[in-house]
Amino acid sequence: MKRHYFIIAAAFIGLIAASCSKNETSENNSADNAIGFGTYAGRTKADTGYLVDGTSTTNIPNGKSIGMFGYVLNGTTWAASGSTAAPTLFNNVQVTAAATDGSSFTYSPARYWPTSTAYKLSFYAYYPYGGAGITPSVTNGMGSYSFETQAAAANQVDFMMSDLAADQSKAAGNPSDGSVDLTFHHLLCQVKATADASAEMKANPAFKSCTITKIEILGVNSKGTLTPSCPAATTTFGWTGQNTTADYTAGDPSDNQNLLLLIPQTIPTTATIRVTYDIVFNYSADKNDTTKDVPYAGNVKTATLSTTTVPEWLQNKIYNYTIGVSLDKIEFTSTVDNWVAGSDIAR
């Protein structure tokens, strides 16, 4: 089963800067000329406290951080020179939420807007800063990111990145208030799996219960490289080099800590989904009489994951797998022969 969800931006948050710094451009070092940021964050499931689900939480959580990159171009634009520009203004700088409602962020030391319109500043960021498995490599342009999905679902981070805010100039009125807006996008896909007894089994009058003890997604790619790019007006995020198969255990998807956040990929032909479960029947008139229970424990069913219906997982999508499990029914076969005389009676 496949469901598509476009997980879009949710909230505006301002950033408060502190301290002072100078660069070669002409600056106004007053507090109201400090570079600030507003971010529009998508939903984020990650380690405890990283969750931004778009409903109860719509901002980067208090105390959590984004990694900021900023570029200064003099007399040129990002489209013309961005691919060779170095992030000298912000180079993976930690920018941290300082309020639960996303109303304030902090970083240090402060950076300031140039007073000349000849200077154009460009920005982008990723989330979460320092997240497990995220390795930035940014020397020129927007660089690239090595990523490895963590083995335990509860340790997986929702890797997000913003569009490039290119050619910003407060002196030119863009942005007029000095706060740069960033729109974040999910770079991974979310995979959910639920299982229960099949409808046929539940229709059996003796059926009592089905307990799913484990759901595993086996043999899917765990590593890859994310390369952002903005050659013109649109930022793109491309995955390459998906490799190194690994196994993951998916728990109850109602608990965000059990959702799997995996690399977008063409699903390997050898990938499978495996369910371990217990089933109990009770053939008595009183199913509450546990002495009459007939348990079937430790059942295992495995199915191929790669199918023509869902041959690949795409970035920023949620995939729901629903599995109906059963036991093999006890069936009987027989043959009928001609009835021969049992004996001869002499007369």
DSSP three-state, residue 78: helix
What are the C-alpha distances in Å from 173 to residues 15, 170, 181? 18, 5, 14
Nearest residue to 324 via CA among 282, 273, 254: 273
The pair of structure tokens assigned to 339 is: 């009835």
pLDDT confidence of residue 336: 52
Q: Let me know how long the chain is.
A: 347
* Whole-prediction pTM: 0.82
Could you state, in order of their start, the residue ranges of all structural domains in the chain? Answer: 16-189, 193-325
* Amino acid at site 249: T
DSSP E strands, 58-162: 65-74, 90-97, 105-107, 119-127, 134-137, 144-148, 160-162
Question: CA-to-CA distance for 183 and 317, rounded, in angstroms?
Answer: 17
Radius of gyration, alpha carbons of the chain: 29
Chain-wide mean pLDDT for the chain? 81
In this structure, the dihedral spanned by the alpha carbons of residues 208, 272, 46 and 56, taken in order and rounded to 10 degrees, is -50
pLDDT confidence of residue 52: 53
pLDDT along the chain (347 residues), means of 10: 28 27 49 70 45 56 89 97 97 87 79 95 94 96 97 88 95 90 85 89 95 93 98 94 95 72 94 94 95 95 85 88 83 54 40
Nearest residue to 52 via CA among 40, 68, 69, 70: 40
pLDDT confidence of residue 317: 86
pLDDT confidence of residue 27: 55
pLDDT tens, position by position, 204-247: 999 999 999 999 999 999 999 999 999 988 999 999 999 999 99
pLDDT confidence of residue 254: 66
- Contact (Cβ atoms closer than 8 angstroms) between residue 194 and residue 214: no
pLDDT confidence of residue 335: 53
Q: DSSP per residue over 243-295, as a string?
A: EEEEEEEE--TTSGGG-EEE--EEPPTT-EEEEEEEEEEE-SS-TT-GGGEEE
* Amino acid at site 88: T
Nearest residue to 60 via CA among 50, 47, 46, 73: 50
Q: 216 CB contacts (<8 Å, ≥6 apart)? A: 247, 248, 249, 250, 273, 274, 275, 276
Q: Provide the β-strand partners of residue 218.
A: 272
pLDDT confidence of residue 232: 86
